[in-house]
């Protein structure tokens, strides 16, 4: 039976989850733009429009908040990729390439700044916090597995050379992607991303 009390509890939980997601969204934007250690807690509170006590109601500390940002960035990635994944007219390697194209356009719109939020946090935080490193390791391994799904399908369909260890190649491709985004950040142009695509689709996979 649904009484007034349980409806009120439900709505409170919903509002609480909205507030939590709001703080994460504001923090995700700041951290992506300027780095984790370079973003103070005060700045996050100000952007989210919440007092310190409210932040600590949702997150144990800044590190725990940062680790939850990884989930947030992963959700953003999944949401961006879904229309491409759902397009049955595309072959596996075309899907993979479309996902990279999507990010190229995103970075171009940002003046070739920011880079991969997961790669950035991995570089910045994995020596400073084992908990952060664990979560980021899962995330980077997950990204490689995600690309490997396309690559295995493409290999079954004869679009990738049969002797390639696709799981290993997917890990190498994610590494080359993270490094190419570092180069993009210093060059501030599209060349490093185009070079990445040329070598991945023209050399590694063929």
Binding site for its own copies (CB under 8 A): 33-35, 37-38, 113-115, 119-120, 122-124, 126-128, 133, 136-137, 140, 168-169, 171-172, 174-180, 182-183, 185-188, 192, 195-196, 198-199, 203-204
Distance CA 145, CA 112 (A): 26
Pick between residue 95 and residue 135 the one whose CB is nearest to its own copies.
135
Closest separation between CB of residue 70 and its own copies, Å? Answer: 11
Q: Kindly tell me which of 23 and 171 has the beta carbon lying closer to its own copies.
A: 171
What's the distance, CA 146 to chain centroid?
Answer: 12
- Burial (CB < 10 A; 0-12, 13-18, 19+), residue 79, is exposed
- Least Å distance between CB 116 and its own copies? 9
Considering the complex, what minimum distance in angstroms separates the CB of residue 82 from its own copies? 25
Q: Which is nearer to its own copies, 69 or 122 (CB)?
A: 122
Of the two residues 91 and 137, which places its CB atom closer to its own copies in the complex? 137
Q: How far is the CB of 1 from its own copies (least distance, A)?
A: 49
Check residue 203 and report its DSSP letter.
I
DSSP tag of 200: I
Distance (Å, whole) CA 18 – CA 47? 15
Q: Could you give the CA distance from residue 172 to residue 192 in angstroms, rounded to a whole number?
A: 16
Q: Rounded distance, CA 154 to CA 83, Å?
A: 19
Query: Could you tell me the sign of the dihedral formed by the alpha carbons of 59, 63, 69, 71, in that order?
Result: negative
- Of 21 and 198, the one with the shorter C-beta distance to its own copies is 198
- The least distance separating its own copies from the CB of residue 37, rounded to whole angstroms, comes to 4
């Amino acid at each position: 039976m649904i009484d007034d009390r349980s409806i009120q509890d439900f709505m409170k939980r919903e509002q609480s989850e909205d507030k939590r997601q709001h703080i994460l969204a504001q923090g995700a934007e700041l951290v992506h733009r300027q780095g984790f250690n370079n973003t103070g807690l005060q700045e996050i509170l100000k952007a989210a429009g919440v007092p310190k006590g409210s932040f600590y109601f949702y997150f144990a500390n800044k590190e725990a908040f940062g680790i939850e940002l990884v989930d947030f960035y992963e959700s953003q990635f999944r949401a961006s990729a879904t229309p491409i994944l759902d397009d049955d007219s595309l072959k596996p390697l075309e899907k993979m390439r479309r996902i990279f194209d999507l990010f190229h356009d995103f970075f171009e719109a940002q003046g070739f700044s920011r880079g991969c939020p997961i790669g950035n946090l991995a570089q910045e935080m994995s020596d400073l916090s084992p908990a952060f490193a664990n979560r980021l390791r899962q995330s980077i391994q997950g990204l490689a597995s995600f690309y490997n799904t396309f690559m295995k399908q493409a290999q079954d369909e004869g679009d990738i050379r049969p002797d390639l260890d696709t799981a290993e190649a997917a890990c190498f491709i994610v590494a080359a992607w993270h490094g190419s985004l570092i180069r993009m950040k210093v060059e501030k142009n599209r060349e490093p991303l185009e070079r990445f695509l040329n070598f991945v689709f023209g050399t590694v996979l063929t």
